[in-house]
Every structure is written in C-alpha cells, then in structure tokens.
Chains A and B, each alone.
Chain A
C-alpha cells in the first residue's frame, strides 16, 4: 500500500475502506461519517500537508446500494502529492459534511455538486444552486436517470412570435 494511504489507515482504522493506486493517482475511500475528520487530518498533518483543494466532484452509480460517490481531490504544494478522497452516500440520505471550514474554495465546488447531483452538504454557508436557475424544476441533471435533452421544462416556455413584416 502507498505509504500515505497506510498513514491515513493507521489514524482511522475503522473508517478506512480501501486505497487504490492507478496510473500514479492515489485514491482512498473512507466511510461517510469520518470524511470531515479525514480531510482535517489531510490538511493539518505535517506528513500529508494538503493545503490546496483541486476539485470536488460526484459520480452516480444507480445500481449500487450507496448510490452517490463524493470525490475530494487535494494536493500538497510543499510535498507535491495528490490524494483523492472518496465516500459513498445512499440516495435517501445523500448528505455529507461540508469542507468549507477546511478549504474555503470548497464552497463553490460543493455548490456545484449540489446543483448537478443533488448531494447536500451539512454546515455549508450558502447551499444554493449555482449554475442552473434557482427555480429549476427538473431535478439534478448529472444523475444517470436524467435524459440529455431534459425533462420537458423548456417546452413549456412561452416564446414571443417573430413578426414578419
């Protein structure tokens, strides 16, 4: 196992699920309740020292029991390593702790995940839609059960008829 993954596992033996290394990327999966503590550890531990947040993302696996995967990718500028932390949430209770208090940049990234995938972030200061309109009625477009052409909201718009002189 990658030494950094082993370091995290030693600190969180119960919450640690697995570590994968593929194409040079290290990805660890942890249980949802410990995600915030793991991220704080990543930020504050001198050996990990991940001071830079790269992106927050989400993946939908509709066939799995725990349907959504939340992905945080962090980087250490001083130590030059990149770690991807993942956790799974079920559909009926898709909520994780917000990392806004650890990395301020997470605020917009988490809002985007909420907007596109419908995952809520606990203790987020301003959890609203960010790219779609506030009154968007069709749900969350990046879920796999959302058709690419939309669910028909657009067809209900009233368009002005162009007058041909």
Chain B
C-alpha cells in the first residue's frame, strides 16, 4: 500500500504572489460515496440512493429500490378481478381512492361496461377529494423536508377533515376500496353532501393561507426556484407525467385527453408551468387544488338526484348489498363473483388514469376466465425515479431531498 502522503493530491496550487500558502495542508480530493437511506425521514418510504459526491455536489446518483416490493403483479395473477381491488389500495397508500379508480376503469374497459351517470359523478367527486388530499399531503411533507415546518400542521389539519369524510363514506380513512367494477360501493348520504358543501366554503381561504406561508418564505423560494429543472423534451423523453411533466410546460392531462368519468361535463383548466423547476410544480399543485374544488362544485350541482350507482351487468357487477342479505340468488351471485370471478374475454387493454402524481395505468392481458393472465401496473413514482439521476446531477446533497419530494414519490407504488 502506498504511503498516505502519496494518496493525497494537491488542489490548491501555490500562488507565486503568496508563497505563504505553501504551508497550507493538502486536501484529499477523491470522490465521496454516500449512502442516503434506506432509513431517512424524507425518502417517503424506504428508498436508498447512493450519491457520488464532489464536495457537496452530486456527480452521480444511483437509486436502489425494491425495499417495499411485495410482488403485487404476481399476486394479481392468482386473484379474481374483484378480489384485487383491496390490493390496489396498498400501492399508493396515501391516495387509495385513485388507485381503485384507475384499476376499476381498466377492468371496465376490458369488460366493456358503461358506468351509470350518477356513479360517474360520485366517482369524479371522490377522485377529486382524493386529489386534494394527495396534494395537501405532498405540500405538507415537501415543505417539512425543505425546512418550512409550519405548513405541515396546517395541511394535515385540513387533510384530516377529508379523511374523516372518507371514514364516514366507506368506513376507512386510507385503505378505502370504495370503487367497484361498474360503479361504486355505496351512495352519498345527505350528511356527506352537506359536509362537502361546507368544505367547499371552508377550504379556499386555507389555500391562500398556505400560499402566504410559503411564498413569503425566502428559504422556501431559494430552495425551490431553479432547483431540479428539467426541460419539456427531457421530461417527455423520460416518460414523466402529472404535475412533474406539466411543470415543464407540457399540457398533458388525461382528464382532458381521454375525457373519462364526468370530467368532460365540468369546466376546469389545467395549470401548466414554464420553468420546469420545483417551484412551478408546487404552483401547479396548489392551483390544481383550486381546480378540484371547481370540479367538485360543478359535479354536486349537475349530479342526477337519483339513479343507479352500479352498472346492471349481473354477470360482472356485484348485486346490491341489501339484496345479498335478503335474497338467496343474490347471495349466490356475490359468492360466485368473488370466488370464481367473471369470464373476461381474451384480449389485452391498457387504461391510464390521471392520478395526482401522474399517469397511473393498468395493462391487463386476459386469456379468458376469472383471473388476469398478466397485470402490469404503470406506476408514476417508479417512472419518475428513472429521471432522478439526470435531474440530481450538479445539485447539492440537500437538494436531493427536494427532488424526491418534487415527484411526490410514494415507495409503496414505486416498488409494488
């Protein structure tokens, strides 16, 4: 082994004008490898990143994922289509409703089922409530990670109101499983509608409150403006979606592009950023919360007062719950649908849905029978992590946290 002196290399050349600098100690200049994670409070789950550093600058980063891998895609191959719905809750456990929605939509496309109108409105309202919850969660944790702690308490206070609303709707706060193939599990009660109206009045001033907290905070501005910049071409090339893509100026929103559920009947705009930095993506998410409120308001006004909430396709959709308890045939139907499943036609479909993180898609291959032959989940968090190395190069270690955060990453979805 070479003596220690030889491993060192000189960084500072001696300035001839200042010969006294010759006595300064020489500094080691090798690159430093730093393991960030897997246990780190701001990795939003269990994620490890190996950072190659030059001083405090990131030269290269290698994400190491899979700590939360549960083999959901393999499990799906052994389950009937109805049985898989609760598993989708556990993908992105912060926003279970949207996962249910995306999955049910994919199966409906496979089975060619049309959802009744009232159910479409119910689905849209709950999906937008879930979007607000997702953005509140993101805003709180992102600000907390960056160092603005106060916002976290305010966003979680308001998120709690909506989670209680979910609790009243379906009996669960996070793992909801409220969507069903062909519709939804149960209707709104008048009390729930009342609470939603009250929330629509309550919430807009609160958004302004968060904005005041953050946009007058110099630390927040310094740590988000011009950080993690990605151009529109690169963002598209990496397959980014949702606010992460729209922050770069690409107006890609499946709610407009595919016009599913009740979205085509509502008027709303899609906020698009200009600079492609973390600040623009923050701004988009705040504006999306306001747009979500508009959508909810319009849906509540337009929604038909009565009507079925589940498509009437007895070979596929579940019988109404009250009949299951009183009618033998319905009981048998429910039992057979869950244990044997329905007979899906052979074929393959892909169906993408605009979740609050980005495009959440399901690719289902069926060979007939009650179970999917292959089910692939296009998880936005996973695809966003593909761009991490590219976006992190040249930034400081502390900015790595900002960059995870700006994707709104949840490892349960990333690792599946």
Contact = CB atoms under 8 A, between A and B. Distances in A.
A55 B237 contact: no
A105 B383 contact: yes
Interface stretch (B192-200, B208-216, B358-366): B358-366
B66 A132 contact: yes
Tell me if B's interface is mostly helix, strand, loop or mixed. Answer: mixed
Interface in B22-75: 65-66, 69, 71, 73-75
B270 to A, nearest CB: 13
A131 B376 contact: no
B374 A59 contact: yes
Q: How large is the interface on B (under 10, 10 to 19, 20 to 34, 35 or more residues)?
A: 35 or more
B74 A141 contact: yes
A130 B234 contact: no
B252 A77 contact: yes
A133 B66 contact: yes
A142 interface: yes
Interface in A74-127: 77, 80, 82, 84, 103-109, 112, 116
Interface stretch (B153-161, B323-331, B334-342, B343-351): B343-351
A108 B234 CA distance: 15
A41 interface: no
Contacts of A53: 237, 239
A105 to B, nearest CB: 3
Interface stretch (B138-146, B173-181, B384-392): B384-392
Nearest to B66: A131
Interface in B354-398: 359, 361, 363, 365, 373-374, 376, 378, 382-383, 385-387, 390
A150 B140 CA distance: 39
A25 interface: yes
9 contacts: A22-B347, A23-B110, A52-B236, A54-B378, A55-B350, A105-B237, A106-B239, A109-B386, A146-B74
Interface of A: 22-25, 27, 51-55, 57, 59-60, 71, 73, 77, 80, 82, 84, 103-109, 112, 116, 129-133, 141-142, 146, 148
Given A80-B257, A148-B77, 13 more contacts: A25-B348, A25-B350, A51-B237, A53-B239, A54-B378, A77-B250, A84-B348, A104-B390, A105-B239, A109-B383, A133-B66, A141-B71, A142-B73
